[in-house]
Amino acid sequence: MHRLVSVLGLLPALAVPALAADLSPVETLGKSIFFDTSLSANGNQACASCHDPDAGFTSPFAEFNAAGGVVEGSVEGRFGNRKPPSAAYATFSPVLHHILDEGDVTIVGGAFLDGRATGSKLGTPAADQAQGPFLNPMEMGLPHAACVVAKVLDPADPAQYPVRLADVWGKDVGVEIPAAIAEQCGNPDAKITVEDPVLDAKINDAFDKIALSIAAFETSAEMNRFSSRFDAWVAGTGTLSDQELRGLEVFKAEDKGNCAACHVLTPTGRSPHAIFTDWTFDNLGVPRNRDNPQGADYVDPGLGGYLKADPVYASLADGVMGAQQVPTLRNLDKRVSPDAPKAYMHNGYFKTLEGIVRFYNTRDVLPRCTDPLASEAEALAQKCWPAPEIEATMNKDELGNLKLTEAEEADLVAFLRTLDDK
Helix, strand counts (H, E) of the chain: 15, 4
Q: What is the pLDDT of residue 318?
A: 97
Please state, in angstroms and rounded to a whole number, the distance separating the CA atoms of residues 352 and 344. 8
Question: Which CATH number applies to 5-219?
Answer: 1.10.760.10
Q: Are the beta carbons of 90 and 34 closer than 8 angstroms?
A: no
Please state, in angstroms and rounded to a whole number, the distance separating the CA atoms of residues 311 and 193. 27
Q: Are the beta carbons of 109 and 96 closer than 8 angstroms?
A: yes
Q: Which of 198, 210, 197 shows the shortest CA–CA distance to 150?
A: 210
Q: What is the pLDDT of residue 354?
A: 98
Q: What is the pLDDT of residue 22?
A: 87
- The alpha carbon torsion through 312, 318, 319, 324 (nearest 10 deg) reads 90
Please state, in angstroms and rounded to a whole number, the distance separating the CA atoms of residues 33 and 206. 13
Residue 97, classed as helix, strand or coil, is strand
Q: What is the pLDDT of residue 102?
A: 83
Residue 133, classed as helix, strand or coil, is helix
Please state, in angstroms and rounded to a whole number, the distance separating the CA atoms of residues 176 and 159. 21
Residue 116, classed as helix, strand or coil, is coil
Domain residue spans in the chain?
A: 5-219
Q: What is the pLDDT of residue 47?
A: 98
Measured in whole angstroms, the distance separating CA 174 from the mean position of its chain's CA atoms is: 31
The one-letter amino acid at 420: D
- The alpha carbon torsion through 317, 117, 61, 139 (nearest 10 deg) reads -100
Q: What residues have CB less than 8 Å from 197, skipping those under 6 apart?
A: none
pTM assigned to the model: 0.93
Show the CA angle centred on residue 365, arms to residues 359 and 370, nearest 5°: 80
List, for residues 259-273, the tens digit of each pLDDT value: 999 999 988 767 889
Please state, in angstroms and rounded to a whole number, the distance separating the CA atoms of residues 89 and 216. 12
Q: What is the pLDDT of residue 1?
A: 42
Please state, in angstroms and rounded to a whole number, the distance separating the CA atoms of residues 217 and 278. 22
What residues are paired with 368 via a beta bridge?
385
Q: What is the pLDDT of residue 4?
A: 36
Q: Are the beta carbons of 324 and 302 closer than 8 angstroms?
A: yes
Residue stretches of the chain with pLDDT short of 50: 1-20
DSSP 313-360: TGGGGGGGTT-EEPPP-TTTT--SSTT----BSTT--B--HHHHHHHH
Q: What is the pLDDT of residue 21?
A: 57
List, for residues 218-275, the tens digit of each pLDDT value: 999 999 999 999 999 999 999 999 999 999 999 999 999 999 999 999 887 678 899 9
Element (H, E) at 98: strand 97-101
